[in-house]
Amino acid sequence: NWISISVESILARTPPHLLVEVIVVDDNGIPGKHDLPKNIRKNVDESEWDYIKSLSPKVKVIRHDNREGCARSRLSGAKVATGEVLMFVDSHIEMLSSTWYHHLAVPIIENPHTIAMQTIDVIDDLGTKDYGAGVGPLQYGIVNTEFWFSYQADRFGDYMESLHEDQYSKSELAARKKLKYLTEKPHPREPYETPFGPGSLFAIRADEFWRLGGYDEGLYVWGGENTEMAFKMWMCGGRMLMVPCSRVGHMYRQHKEKDGRGALTRWPPTLPREMTDRLGCAYKNGTYTGRFVVLKHPADNFTRITTRNNLRIMETWVGDHPAKKSYYKRLFGQETLKPEFQHFIDEWRSDPAAQKQVE
């Protein structure tokens, strides 16, 4: 019942005069439509939708007839939202105080070109569902060499270590390692700037969200929407802030549990064949053809789609920067794309949704 818990905590811990509406997007699709499996909703408690709508007239439910994914689902909600500020929230969270929104609103009032992000406390996704301290309070959001979001403890990290050690003698490297520098760490209570952030649990003015073009409608399933938004915000004159005093419990669906049917994988999710076919990412005739190799391993359908999303973002916002070739070499073992991945770039060039972002 985590959708219910999420909605209940928002209603209970947001001052009514500040809360315009709670929009919940049902992205599981309609069985049998768009070639979706007839049992696609087998794990859905349909009565929960009626329950959350009964909680308050402010609760609205949008139903997709096809599977669209994170970015497109958030766009569906944003398009019908009427509030001055948009708050993007996952469906497996709990707001932890009645002032969670106030702390996000203050930096937005100070600078309207702001994304204000909550600090995450992790909820155990198995067993007790206990809370544990998250990584947010003393961390900066970054992306690693594989273009995945991650956290770093101080602002400059290992900047004193050379990325090209072959350019230095042993004595020079030894001297560099002896250099001392003061790491810049965030204040435990004051909002602080961060290069990147997670894909949800953030507030932004509605007019600012649309000034940035919203999300790229070509981002499907999961992955990339957070890095895309960070690039746009920083490159278009805005800022991204972590807000330590706005706390939220978040359940990462990352483990496995056992029931009568054996082990159930929670993440990554199983994707319907219709969606992977639609995006040109499925195995041919259900079998692996030797193509789509990522990090020297055959890429499953989920990895193909997230890689597809990241390639779109690279082309749109990184362009010809050397970082793109470094990314290619890291993932694919070479600085140029093989035909199966080049296909995604060719698609991007003619996709109206991508061109809208460029404009």
Q: 235-277, pLDDT tens digit by residue?
A: 999 999 999 999 998 887 655 554 444 444 555 666 666 677 7
Tell me which residues of the chain have a pLDDT lower than 70: 125-138, 156-167, 180-182, 253-274, 282-290
Which residues sit opposite 43 in a β-bridge? none
Q: HSE on the CB side for 211, CA within 13 Å? A: 15
> At residue 21, what is the residue type?
E
Output the pTM of the full model: 0.86
**CA-to-CA dists, residue 220 to 142, 268, 291, angstroms:** 22, 14, 21
Nearest to 243 by CA among 204, 202, 212, 207: 202
Phi-psi bin for 30: left (phi > 0), alpha (psi -120 to 50), beta?
A: beta
Pairing mode, strands 192-193 and 202-205: unpaired
Rg (Cα) of the chain, in Å, rounded?
22
